[in-house]
Amino acid sequence: MEKHFSSPTVAAWLQEWTDRLDPERVELVTGEPAQQEGLVDLLISRGSIVRLDPVLRPNSFLALSDSRDVARLESRTFICSEQESDAGPTNNWRSPSEMKAAMLPLYEGAMRGRTLYVVPFAMGPEGSRFQMLGIELTDSAYVALSMTRMARVSKAVAEAIDQSGDFVPAIHSVGVPLAGREDVPWPCNPESTYVAHFPETREIWSFGSGYGGNALLGKKCLALRIGSVVGKREGWLAEHMLILKLISPTGKIYYVAGAFPSACGKTNLAMLVPTVPGWRAETVGDDIAWIRRGEDGRLYAVNPEAGFFGVAPGTSVRSNAMAMQTISRDTIFTNCALTREGDVWWEGATETPPDGLIDWKGLPWDGQGPAAHPNARFTVPASKCPMIAPEWQDPAGVPLSALLLGGRRSDLIPLVTEARSWEHGVFLGSIMASETTAAAEGPTGKVRRDPFAMLPFCGYNIGDYFRHWLEFGAESKEGLPRIYLVNWFRRNADRKYIWPGYGDNVRVLSWIIDRLEGRAAGRDTPLGVVPAPGEIDLAGTSLSAEEFAPLVEIDLADLAVEVEDVKGYYANLGERLPARLRDELEELHKRV
């Protein structure tokens, strides 16, 4: 084997895994254009991807997955801390020794007949103290190619790892050794899928799935699950948050970060095109934020990723023109429908579907069921986004003025509510709930608690996580952003969304800025401060003041039911739940 690393630690680790996985060949991936083209040609020759029409969608591709491998698998995701209590009540737990004993035999010879791609990657901008290095070993050319877009993959990163010997080992196999067998376009092994994290030794072991967060290990596995554990230890936060730069009509700059659960609007808000004249927006990040407290007391956020892995369905010129421009070329699409002209289509792209679609299962679409899978996605470098903020890779991060916490709630939760204090904001984050989406396996539309949108991504005990948030603001309130609960998804009696959303969400942000600048009085409710009548600018929307009013109403009977539900949820979280949050719940109980 060619020697790719001179660091004894790295070389020994790579040798051990190469021996175990037993690939036919080993390739170091450093992301040069020629290498990417090689991966593309290989994937095309295998039928794993098709090239889209070069005029309609230059340098872009469509991959169709196995129909059993379409989303994150939460039931197969494990936090393997030594103590079960450190994984806590919200994570699947196995002891490290038990999980490794179960997985090592799976990895034995798992890459026979395949190429082992060695992908050194960095999460976080170069020169930032936020940066974390990793090496993903994968037998999927699709994953290797996707990693070159989603993370920073380069010779320089490989050298940095070689010099420091410090990296998060991330093992990935689709779990289908070839050994004489014919390959399939999307190999996977659903019966034996595991996505395992070893927080104490900072290792990631994934087997059996080639899709998204199960396989692109820098994202949810490293930047969130392992990241959150490191952040707890080192005093920072790894969050499932978009980062948006907002420029007011007077030219003042505000950065806001927002935690919304999977498929609940982060990418869309990150690429906001304001509908109110004078406002401008730029994108810093669309899924993950690493946040530290600066010496001035402010919170500074960095987007650790290099690309977007965004939900395709629902994206259109009308809902998100910026996302459409971002993915107009140089994009890998997965599980979208293919048009007769060789372009991609998904539900919501246009009002009526074009004739002659090939659906995500690769069959002529019969109009039954969705043509694109509801979790169909695009993978594109962040640099392709026309509204990317010039400072998006600033090693110091950007200072946050407000934090948004949002979910999909048909009722109860107002369009926007300001928390009374940092602690009250942490309380609101801890009780957040949202309807489940197609981003993970299982039924959609079921309301579940998803604290800080981190339920599937917090790598340790959620009670300790809430304590970490509380402690983050404990020392001084000076410079802390204010916290807002938002909900774009309230429905009327006809089950239609009341709020127009998308670009009109700037109206909510503008109210938040008014609050920060002391320009809006708001109206107090048991849950926090909501906009007073007239404080949200509706000019240019089709909503009347009467139609808007229910969006900021709180039904006290419904809230009482919610409080009872939260009591049951808190009881299940066990004794590590901070007393301060129980007090906040008691306060809320008294107010309703």
Residues found near ligand GTP in the complex (CB under 6 A): 260, 262-268, 286-287, 310-311, 313-314, 319, 439, 488, 497, 501-502, 505
* Of residues 263-322, those binding ligand SPV (CB under 6 A): 287, 309
CB atoms inside a 10 Å sphere around CB 505? 26
Rounded to whole angstroms, the Cα distance separating 552 from 490 reads 10
Q: Select from Mn ion, ligand GTP, ligand SPV, none the partner in contact with residue 497, using the beta carbon and a kind-dependent cut-off of 5 to 8 Å.
A: ligand GTP
CB atoms inside a 10 Å sphere around CB 163? 12
Q: Select from Mn ion, ligand SPV, ligand GTP, none the partner in contact with residue 169, using the beta carbon and a kind-dependent cut-off of 5 to 8 Å.
A: none
Rounded to whole angstroms, the Cα distance separating 571 from 540 reads 46
Q: Are 513 and 251 in contact (CB under 8 A)?
A: no
Question: Is 262 one of the binding residues for ligand SPV (CB under 6 A)?
Answer: yes
Q: Select from Mn ion, ligand SPV, ligand GTP, none the partner in contact with residue 488, using the beta carbon and a kind-dependent cut-off of 5 to 8 Å.
A: ligand GTP
CB of 497 to ligand GTP, least distance (A): 4
User: Using the 8-state DSSP alphabet, how is residue 309 labeled?
Assistant: E
Residue-by-residue DSSP string for 104-161: HHHHTTTTTTSEEEEEEEEES-TT-TT-EEEEEEES-HHHHHHHHHHSB--HHHHHHH
Q: Select from ligand GTP, ligand SPV, Mn ion, none the partner in contact with residue 212, using the beta carbon and a kind-dependent cut-off of 5 to 8 Å.
A: ligand SPV
Question: Is 407 one of the binding residues for ligand SPV (CB under 6 A)?
Answer: no
The size of the interface with ligand SPV (CB under 6 A), counted in residues, is 9
> Measured from the CB atom, is 305 or 418 closer to Mn ion?
305
* Distances from the Cα of 159 to the Cα of 16, 202, 458, angstroms: 20, 20, 30
CB of 280 to ligand SPV, least distance (A): 26
CB of 378 to ligand SPV, least distance (A): 11
> Measured from the CB atom, is 158 or 264 closer to ligand GTP?
264
Amino acid at 480: L
For binding to Mn ion (CB under 5 A), which residues are involved?
262, 287
For 164, the enclosing helix (H) or strand (E) is helix 155-164
Question: Is 449 one of the binding residues for ligand SPV (CB under 6 A)?
Answer: no
> Measured from the CB atom, is 196 or 224 closer to ligand GTP?
224
Which of the ranges 47-55, 163-171, 213-221, 384-392 carries the binding residues for ligand SPV, by CB under 6 A? 213-221
* Distances from the Cα of 525 to the Cα of 407, 531, 553, 555, angstroms: 19, 10, 9, 11
CB of 500 to Mn ion, least distance (A): 23
Choice among 221, 264, 336, 385 that is catalytic: 264
* Distances from the Cα of 464 to the Cα of 90, 98, 477, 480, 485, angstroms: 12, 24, 21, 21, 22
- What is the contact mask toward ligand SPV in residues 427 to 446, using x (rule: CB under 6 A)? ------------x-------
> Measured from the CB atom, is 115 or 206 closer to ligand SPV?
206
DSSP count for the chain of H helices, then E strands? 16, 28
Q: Select from ligand SPV, ligand GTP, Mn ion, none the partner in contact with residue 213, using the beta carbon and a kind-dependent cut-off of 5 to 8 Å.
A: ligand SPV
Q: Are 283 and 270 in contact (CB under 8 A)?
A: yes
Rounded to whole angstroms, the Cα distance separating 139 from 118 reads 9
* Of residues 47-106, those binding ligand SPV (CB under 6 A): 72
Question: Is 213 one of the binding residues for ligand SPV (CB under 6 A)?
Answer: yes
> Measured from the CB atom, is 220 or 467 closer to ligand SPV?
220
264 catalytic residue (yes or no): yes
> Measured from the CB atom, is 274 or 310 closer to ligand GTP?
310
Both structure tokens of 416: 């926007």
CB of 381 to Mn ion, least distance (A): 17
Both structure tokens of 316: 């259109």
Rounded to whole angstroms, the Cα distance separating 123 from 185 reads 29
Question: Is 414 one of the binding residues for ligand SPV (CB under 6 A)?
Answer: no
Q: Select from ligand SPV, ligand GTP, Mn ion, none the partner in contact with residue 185, using the beta carbon and a kind-dependent cut-off of 5 to 8 Å.
A: none
3-state helix, strand, coil in the chain (%, to 5): 30, 20, 45
Which of the ranges 75-83, 99-107, 212-220, 556-564 carries the binding residues for ligand SPV, by CB under 6 A? 212-220
> Measured from the CB atom, is 312 or 357 closer to ligand SPV?
312
Question: Is 172 one of the binding residues for ligand SPV (CB under 6 A)?
Answer: no
CB of 140 to ligand GTP, least distance (A): 20
For 307, the enclosing helix (H) or strand (E) is strand 307-311
List all residues 6 or more positions away from 10 whose beta carbon is below 8 Å from its beta carbon: 135, 161, 162, 165, 167
Q: Token pair 């979280």 is at which residue? A: 573
Contacting positions for ligand SPV (CB under 6 A): 72, 212-213, 219-220, 262, 287, 309, 439
The residues carrying an active-site annotation are: 264
